[in-house]
Each structure stands twice: as structure tokens, then as C-alpha cells.
Amino acid sequence: MTEPGLIELDPSVPSPVGTLTDRLFDALQRAIVEGEMPQGSKISEPELARRHGVSRGSLREAIARLEACKLVERKPNLGARVVELSAEQLIEIFQLREALEGMAARLAAEAMSDAEIDALGALLEQHGQQIEQEQGQAYFQKQGDLDFHFRIVQGSKNRQLIELLCEDLYHLLRMYRVQFGMRSKRSRQAFEEHQYLLSALRSRDPEMAELVMRQHVRSSRRNLEQALT
């Protein structure tokens, strides 16, 4: 009954965007990050495939991508397991971040447009108000922290950096945050450091931007190391 040249847009079925494997990957990534699939739990391909109503082939491709993101580990003939998060690995990731985001800040100081920097300033102002009003809401702060770092990385305009941090590492980080229930009390100090970084960007000072960002990430790491021992 549908006109052959017309496209049906049914809002109740939210456009099946992308391939089936893509959607599976997104769903599983979210499930793992949110902790719905516990750390170290075994992944049974037949069961998962049945629960999601797809075939094992598609599922296996999605799992392969998850493996590339370091969210699952697979051993030949033994199957896949959700990664086990250790304090050591978290430290290692923060060392990575110190190097990568430091470089991102350095590049951003030259590559970001004035408009982007202004938008970043607006975001920070908003964060400041949130801190004033609801000091208990550490969750939003954490999300805001990631937003801030996200924009710096985007501002570097370095595609390698962007993909590496935004499509792999940040998901891992969110997973740690959710599962360790991390809600640090340095939100005020972090907010100040963010403002220092904004100043460095406004001054178009790459050296200073990198220095501040590295110090910022390093402080977070030290704070973690203390909390984890």
C-alpha cells in the first residue's frame, strides 16, 4: 500500500541507524560501562545472541570491536570475558592521559578558534554555578569534567588524538568511574585548574597549556593513588 517512491518514517521505530553490528556494539559497550555486565563475567555467545535476538556472527563482530576498545578480553577457544579493572591499570591509564591530554592542550592552544574558546568559557561558568548550588551532585560534576576534557581534545584538531581518547579511552574511564563509584572531593580544585587552563588557551600559550593540563591530570592521579591504598 505504500507508495514505491516514498520513504516510510515511523517515529515509533527509532530509525535503525547503522548496521546491526554497530547497534549491538553500542548496546554492549553501554551495558559494560554501566556495569550491567559485571567485571570478569564470562560472555556466552549463544546466550547473548539469543537475548538480543541476533545471530552469533553479528555478535562476534561486535565483540571483536569491544576487544579493540579493551572492554573485553578474548582467549582462543575459551571465549570472551568482561575486563577486570585493577587499580594498577587505572594508574597506567592516567599516565597515558597525562601525556595525551597534555599534548592535546598544547595543540589546542594554537588550533582552537576564538568561538570555541568562548564556548568553553561559558561551559566553565555553568560548572561554577553548579558547584555553588548543589555541592552534593558530584555526578554532574564528573560528567562535566569529561565534557571539558572532551572539548580540549576536539580542539587539538588532531584526528589521531581525538579518536584514541574520545572513542576508546574515555569509555574505559567512564567504566572505572561508574564501577568504582568514584566521586572525588577535588571538584573545587579541579574547577580552578580548568580555569587556569582556559587562561592559557586564551593567551594562546601552548607551553603553559600543556603544563597546566599535565599538572591537572597528575593531581587527579595522585588523588586516586591515595584513595586506592
Cell of 11: 517515529
Nearer to a second copy, 107 or 197 (CB): 107
Q: Kindly state whether residue 159 participates in binding a second copy, applying the rule CB under 8 A.
A: yes
Q: Kindly state whether residue 51 participates in binding DNA, applying the rule CB under 7 A.
A: no
- Residues 6 or more apart in contact with residue 144 via CB below 8 angstroms: 123, 126, 127, 130
Amino acid identity, position 163: E
Cell of 154: 576536539
What distance in Å separates the CA atoms of residue 8 and residue 5, rounded to the nearest whole number? 10
- x/- mask, DNA, residues 69-98, rule CB under 7 A, reads -----x-xxxxx------------------
- Across 9-154, the runs of DSSP E, i.e. the strands, are 42-43, 72-75, 79-82
Q: Kindly state whether residue 55 participates in binding a second copy, applying the rule CB under 8 A.
A: no
Shortest distance, position 142 Cβ to DNA, whole Å:
34
Shortest distance, position 155 Cβ to a second copy, whole Å:
14
What distance in Å separates the CA atoms of residue 98 and residue 108, rounded to the nearest whole number? 15
Q: Kindly state whether residue 217 participates in binding a second copy, applying the rule CB under 8 A.
A: no
> What residues line the site for a second copy (CB under 8 A)?
18-19, 22, 57, 60-61, 64-65, 68, 76-77, 89, 92-93, 95-96, 98-100, 102-103, 107, 158-161, 164
